Structure 1
Amino acid sequence: MTTGVRRRMAVEQRRDQLISVALGLFGRRSPEDVSIDEIAETAGISRPLVYHYFPGKQSLYEAALRRAGDQLAALFVEPREGPLGARLLRVTHRFFDFVEDHGPGFTALMRGGPAAGSAAGAMLERVREAAYEQIVAHLGLARPAPRTELVVRSWISLAESTALLWLDGRQLARREVELQLVHDLAALAAVSAAYDEEMAGVLGRMLADEPADGPFGDLVGRLTALAPRPEPPLSQPPLSRPEPRLQAQSQAM
């Protein structure tokens, strides 16, 4: 947002302002399409003053990435109280808030545009690790087994790819996509539970603490409705007793 009037700021204040401005611009468009002149104009300062605080656009982009990484990592912090399904749904909702607010920038970052580079890769790994640690803690595990780690990390990758696909056309209601992502974690856990004792325990706790109207309860209800109903057994006709005449004939023989 353009300030309109230039005003003096302390060094850290000005740096913070420029990072915020850059993050907003990089979020709305691909970083390659944002110029230093536009950043300066939006911040209400001169182009040389931008270079006074940052050597170039790449260094400003990397600073904005670090800020975005901090914001993304914070999205996964959730009090460990109440049913797990509701907690995960709140986390997923905040994640999609960020995705929607920074759509083009998020897309460019996740698809590795020319400006991404190693700084973007490092930021993404930091965010993924923060998300992993939070989800594992919500599952009530201190040291997850390899199969559990596979499930959680797969779900984080699924959340990223789902967000990108949703941004492309927004063909489904956002709330539906958020709920489906929570259901996806339960589905991954259910498949893994068939092979792994730890995940079987996790799945049991997930469902035991879930109210009927919660996300996991909703999933169980949907799956139950899809299950084919067993057909009643065919009724057997009663055995007919021989007629007295035939019975008498057979006794006479």
Structure 2
Amino acid sequence: MPIVSVSDGCRVTYDVSGQGEALLLIPGLGGAASFWNDIVPLLTDHFRVIAFDHRGTGRSDRPEGAYSISRIAADAIAILDAENIGSAHVVGHSTGGMVAQYIALDAPERVKTLVISGSWEKPDARFVAMFEARLAVLREAGPRVYQKLTHAIGFPARFLEQNRELLQRAVDNAAAALSPLSVAQARIEMLLTDERSEDLARIVAPTLVIGATDDALIPFSHSQELAAAIPDARLAVIDGAHFFPRVHPADYAGMVRQFLEERHE
């Protein structure tokens, strides 16, 4: 469990496994590297896979104050520096996809290829309404209700039915995972303002955008907009609602692997 102390003193925890070219996995708003637990074993035969807990989540420090996508992107680059990695394949889901965009824009030399899944190009009116509502639920109804709502919006009905115990554990652990609430709230608030949509045409890394047609949290139209804005980006379609990497880990890992292998042909 390596830990890097970044420029402002925050300690960010990450995991490394496998051999080969570096592959950085960036989780979404939940921020925990464990989001990728079912994906990592499917990629470690060919890649040195790195997954980290965002600042404010998981095993990393949870400093009070404002949060930003650019700060999380800088943390990710600090991890690459700590591991002596000049450039990596970068995969980001949801909020992690926004972090991946910032890395590709601000440190293009660090990104071999870019995979952005279940993410967005900018917060439109629907997005703002959705995340303002989620923020209100967290503040007024508390972590357990917030987590239940996240599951209901983010997973297909069949997955919810088949994984009741797994998801109940997440609800039971919500108070700890989202503590302190001021930090969890600050992390949601950053999503309402942070975006680089006007800069996306400057991304030079070969890019794959993956979106789910049944994503009720981040509609598929955002993936379409991303793919249209990033030069020569490829758009791939899947189902499985917003958390489709957890619903279809083998399919997701296969999409990532195929794209990376094609880029080396």
Same-fold status (TM-score > 0.5): no
Normalized per residue, the structure richer in helix is 1
Larger relative strand fraction: 2
Normalization by structure 2: what TM-score?
0.23
> Structure 1 length as normaliser, TM-score?
0.24
